[in-house]
A and B are shown apart, each in its own frame.
Chain A
Amino acid sequence: MRLKLLTKVLAVAAIAFPLTTAVADAYELVIPATVYRTGPYAPNGIPFANGYGDYYRMLNERDGGIEGVKIKYLECETAYNTKQGVECYENTKGEGPSGALAYQPLSTGITYQLIPKASADKIPVFSMGYGRTSAANGKVFPYIFNFPATYWDQASVFVKYIGEKEGGMDKLKGKKIALVYHNSAYGKEPIRTLEELSKKHGFDLQLLAVDHPGQEQKATWLQVRRKKPDWVMMWGWGVMNQVAIKEAASIRFPMDRFIGVWWSGSENDVLPAGEAAHGYLSGAFHAAGDNFRAHDDIKRHVYDKGNGGGDRDRIGEVLYNRGLVAAMWTAEAIRTAMRIHNTKEVTGEHVRDGFEALNVDAKRLAVLGLEGFTYPVKITCENHQGPGKVALQQWDAKEKKWNFASDFYTPDADVVGKLIAEDSANYAAENNITPRTCN
Chain B
Amino acid sequence: MFYREAGQFKTSYRADQGILTIVQDRFVIGAFAFVAFCVVPFFINDYWANAILIHVLVYVLAALGLNILTGYCGQVSLGTGGFMAVGAYASYKLITAFPEMNFIVAILMSGGITAAVGVVFGLPSLRIKGFYLAVATLAAQFFLVWVFNKFGWFFNYSPTGMIVSPPREVFGFLVTGPQASPEARYLFCLSFVVVFALAAKNIVRGRVGRSWMAIRDMDIAAELIGIRPLEAKLTAFAVSSFYIGVAGALYFNVWLGSAEPTEAFDINQSFFVLFIIIIGGLGSILGSFLGAAFMVLVPITLKTVMVDGFGFAVGAAKHAEVMLLGTLIILFLIVEPHGLARLWQILKEKLRRWPFPY
Contacts and interface: CB of A to CB of B under 8 A. Distances in A.
A90 B263 contact: no
A90 B50 contact: yes
B314 A76 contact: yes
Interface stretch (B70-78, B215-223, B280-288, B316-324): B316-324
Contacts of B263: 81-82, 109, 184, 212
A367 interface: no
A18 B179 contact: no
A212 B262 contact: yes
Nearest to A19: B311
B338 to A, nearest CB: 25
Interface stretch (B119-127, B133-141, B154-162, B197-205): B154-162
B229 interface: no
B262 A120 contact: no
B337 interface: no
A234 B215 CA distance: 51
Given A87-B300, A184-B263, A212-B266, A189 B314 contact: no
Contacts of A189: 159-160
Contacts of B55: 83, 87
A79 B256 contact: no
Contacts of B310: 10, 13-14, 17
B314 A37 contact: yes
Given A184-B260, A185-B260, A112 B314 contact: no
Contacts of B311: 14, 17-20
Contacts of A427: 164
B312 interface: yes
B172 to A, nearest CB: 16
Nearest to B269: A83
B166 A431 contact: yes
Nearest to B257: A116
A397 interface: no
Interface residues of B, number: 43
A86 interface: yes
B357 interface: no
Given A14-B311, A183-B262, A86 B159 contact: no
A76 B314 CA distance: 6
B347 interface: no
Contact of A90 (B51, B149, B259, B312): B51
Interface in A403-439: 419, 423, 426-427, 430-432
A297 interface: no
Interface string B247-260: 00000000111111
A247 interface: no
A188 interface: yes
Contact of B318 (A14, A38, A83, A431): A38
Interface in B319-334: 319-320, 322
Given A19-B311, A86-B256, A189-B159, A431 B319 contact: no
A10 B323 CA distance: 14
Given A17-B312, A17-B313, A212-B262, A188 B179 contact: no
A400 interface: no
Interface in B208-238: none
A173 interface: no
A426 B103 CA distance: 21
A75 B47 contact: no
Interface of B: 46-47, 50-51, 55, 96, 149, 158-162, 164, 166-167, 177-179, 255-260, 262-264, 266, 300, 303, 307, 310-320, 322
> Closest 7 CB pairs between A and B?
A37-B315, A120-B178, A116-B178, A185-B160, A14-B310, A19-B311, A77-B314
30 contacts: A13-B320, A14-B311, A18-B313, A37-B314, A38-B322, A77-B315, A82-B264, A86-B51, A87-B55, A87-B300, A90-B47, A90-B50, A108-B160, A109-B260, A112-B164, A112-B258, A184-B161, A184-B260, A185-B160, A185-B161, A186-B160, A191-B159, A419-B159, A423-B158, A423-B159, A426-B158, A430-B166, A431-B164, A431-B166, A432-B166
